């Protein structure tokens, strides 16, 4: 159960992150056999560009070590929620680490936090939340899609974090969270988050809490902010954060030699002969640089955060 806490060696049933190269990372469940497409149990052999890997051979290996395969090798990494986000099976569009990071910090999550999440989706954010609120917190996660809700619950259980989460098949926009004053934070990633706002308010503790709504479309954001204000949420903040990665390289640039006089052998009309050109260039320079990748994520979604103040007491 390698998601629960760090371990040093691979055991049967673990999820191992197999790293071949930056574009080839896979999450593998360590088992002797695996069900194939026809539904039969077959030996668990994972095919890669570097050859085949008998998955059961991973058992006993130290996490972080190299794994030999027929045409090369890979690394067996210990899973983390961040690596899981990069390798999990997508059942929906997921949240990536830059947004997840901001959510965890802005919702002030820490061990002991009680969180409501709707929808569960593919469980990308859920795993990050679980890591952050364990061992004393709890995650209530909801999805209106029955199969997704069930698959997520199975995954949580297989990953050893089932005790910290309750996954429910429920439409929170129509039916609410069925929770009263228990949550420190609520996270909404829904088509109509504004419908869930009053239920979110009910689920949050009387001592107040934080809320986040993630929406790709600005219309959703506008309606949500409107609803948040109407229900007494304060400190509204809507933002976008996009991560920009740099290609780090040592670039070699040729340098034009300005000190040399142009040759005066009569060909002053600017005819370029290769030898003349080469003579005008100095020894090339090596430049250590990081340039952005040619494309970068332009938009994931707008994050709206707000605070629910504590309920007024009737004292003094």
> Which of 18, 44, 63, 117 is close enough to bind other proteins by CB under 8 A?
63
Backbone angles phi, psi at 158, to 5 degrees: -60, -30
Which among 48, 63, 87 has a CA at the least distance from the CA of 14?
A: 63
246 binds other proteins (CB under 8 A): yes
Q: Kindly tell me which of 207 and 260 has the beta carbon lying closer to other proteins.
A: 207
Each residue 276-305 as x (binds other proteins by CB under 8 A) or -, in order, gives ----------x-xxx--xx-------x-x-
Each residue 191-230 as x (binds other proteins by CB under 8 A) or -, in order, gives --------------xxxx---------x--xx--xx----
Report helix, strand or coil for 26: strand
The span of 40-48, 71-79, 160-168, 269-277 binding other proteins (CB under 8 A) equals 71-79
Residues 159-185 as b or e (16 or more Cβ within 10 Å = b): bbbbebbebebbbbbeebbebeebbbb
> Which of 128, 167, 190, 200 is close enough to bind other proteins by CB under 8 A?
128
Which among 310, 315, 303 has a CA at the least distance from the CA of 232?
A: 310
88 binds other proteins (CB under 8 A): no
Q: How far is the CB of 115 from other proteins (least distance, A)?
A: 14
> Which of 94, 102, 197, 211 is close enough to bind other proteins by CB under 8 A?
102
Q: How far is the CB of 7 from other proteins (least distance, A)?
A: 10
Q: How far is the CB of 271 from other proteins (least distance, A)?
A: 33
Compute CA distances 92 → 144, 158, 190, 191, whole Å: 13, 20, 12, 13
| Radius of gyration, alpha carbons of the chain | 27
> Which of 33, 52, 60, 279 is close enough to bind other proteins by CB under 8 A?
60
Q: Can you tell me the distance from the alpha carbon of 49 to that of 23, in angstroms, rounded to the nearest whole number?
A: 12
Q: Can you tell me the distance from the alpha carbon of 190 to that of 216, in angstroms, rounded to the nearest whole number?
A: 10
138 binds other proteins (CB under 8 A): no
Site size for other proteins (CB under 8 A)? 95
Residue pair 104/129 in contact by the 8 Å Cβ criterion: yes
Q: Kindly tell me which of 166 and 307 has the beta carbon lying closer to other proteins.
A: 307
Q: Can you tell me the distance from the alpha carbon of 152 to that of 21, in angstroms, rounded to the nearest whole number?
A: 28
Each residue 20-49 as x (binds other proteins by CB under 8 A) or -, in order, gives -xxxx-------------------------
Q: Kindly tell me which of 22 and 278 has the beta carbon lying closer to other proteins.
A: 22
Residue pair 46/69 in contact by the 8 Å Cβ criterion: no
> Which of 181, 254, 260, 267 is close enough to bind other proteins by CB under 8 A?
181
């Amino acid at each position: 159960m390698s998601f629960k806490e760090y371990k040093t060696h691979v055991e049967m049933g673990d999820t191992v992150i197999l790293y071949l190269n930056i574009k080839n990372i896979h999450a593998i469940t360590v088992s002797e056999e695996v069900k194939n497409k026809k539904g039969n149990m077959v030996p668990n052999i994972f095919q890669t560009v570097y050859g085949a890997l008998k998955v059961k051979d991973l058992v006993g290996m130290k996490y972080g070590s190299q794994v030999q395969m027929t045409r090369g090798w890979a690394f067996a990494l210990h899973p983390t929620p961040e690596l899981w986000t990069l390798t999990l099976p997508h059942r929906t569009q997921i949240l990536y680490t830059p947004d997840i990071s901001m959510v965890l910090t802005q919702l002030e999550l820490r061990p002991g936090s009680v969180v409501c999440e709707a929808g569960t989706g593919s469980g990308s954010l859920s795993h990050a939340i679980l890591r952050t609120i364990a061992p004393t917190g709890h995650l209530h996660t909801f999805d209106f899609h029955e199969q997704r809700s069930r698959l997520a619950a199975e995954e949580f259980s297989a990953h050893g974090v089932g005790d910290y989460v309750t996954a429910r098949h429920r439409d929170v926009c129509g039916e609410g969270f069925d929770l009263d004053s228990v949550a420190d934070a609520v996270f909404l990633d829904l088509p109509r988050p504004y419908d869930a706002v009053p239920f979110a308010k009910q689920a949050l503790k009387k001592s107040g809490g934080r809320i986040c709504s993630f929406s790709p479309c600005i219309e959703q954001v506008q309606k949500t902010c409107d609803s948040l204000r109407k229900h007494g949420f304060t400190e509204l903040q809507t933002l976008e954060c996009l991560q920009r990665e740099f290609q780090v390289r040592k670039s070699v640039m040729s340098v034009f030699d300005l000190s040399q006089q142009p040759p005066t052998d009569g060909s002053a009309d600017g005819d370029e002969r290769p030898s003349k050109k080469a003579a005008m260039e100095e020894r090339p320079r090596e430049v250590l640089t990081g340039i952005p990748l040619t494309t970068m994520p332009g938009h994931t979604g707008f994050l709206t955060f707000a605070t629910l103040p504590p309920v007024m007491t009737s004292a003094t």
